[in-house]
Amino acid sequence: MYKKIKFSASAMCFDWLNVKSQLKEIEDLDLDYLHIDIIDGNFIPDFTMGSSIINSIRSGTNMKFYYHLMVDEPRRIFDSLNIKKKDILAIHQEASKNLHSDLVEIRNIGAEVGIVLSPGTPLDSLEYVIEDADNIILMTVNPGYKGQTLVPQTLNKIEKLDIMLKSMNLRNKISISVDGNVNPSTIPEMILKGADNLILGSSGLFDKKNSIKKNFEKIIKAIDTVK
């Protein structure tokens, strides 16, 4: 955490030929979470890591995990993951037929409860479940592929969610994560709008032009510009 901002490193963006060394670099930065994107090929196209790979990574680090399930009916795979207390387990509002029941099950597992909204999903879809959440992810790109362009309307969505949470006296309980095109050029406005958990991927922490350490230094400098 830096200036009340938390950081999540997206494992989806690992150089898979050098996972061990990159994981060590991330651990040395003392980031808050390792962000685990799970894609099933149904909710959205493509696939990422299966549970065997994820659990193997888990055995090699003490970092807390931030699971982001881009999976139809996500509850069906909860048991395949080695979820620990203080992990975040986040599921898409659009992917769950019985969202409230799934959120209760996440709480029963012992993880912190996350709800994800894609860019086109309105905030009022949270109306009857938001009190059950610890964390809301606002996708700032459409889910599925790394390296996409920011959807500009999502910046105002961050601000509206921040206002909503404050009006409900929930702002100290629920954090706002942003996922997609989170980098030094976009971070200042995201923070000004209310984001306090940055999910860092290919355009930020894993920008191939620099080392992970150098990229994180640039991210810190971007945060320092926010007044």
Distance CA 30, CA 127 (A): 35
Q: Is 64 helix (H, G, I), strand (E, B) or coil?
A: strand
Tallying the residues shown for the chain, one arrives at: 227
Q: Which of 40, 102, 179, 196 is catalytic?
A: 179
Q: Which of 37, 40, 134, 162 is catalytic?
A: 37
Which burial class, exposed, middle or buried, applies to 195 when counting CB atoms under 10 A from its CB (0-12, 13-18, 19+)? buried
Distance CA 111, CA 148 (A): 29
Q: Which residues pair with 198 in a beta bridge?
A: 7, 178
Distance CA 120, CA 100 (A): 20
Q: Is 166 helix (H, G, I), strand (E, B) or coil?
A: helix
Catalytic, 46? Answer no
Distance CA 62, CA 226 (A): 31
Catalytic, 37? Answer yes
Radius of gyration of the chain (CA): 16
Active-site annotation, residues: 37, 179
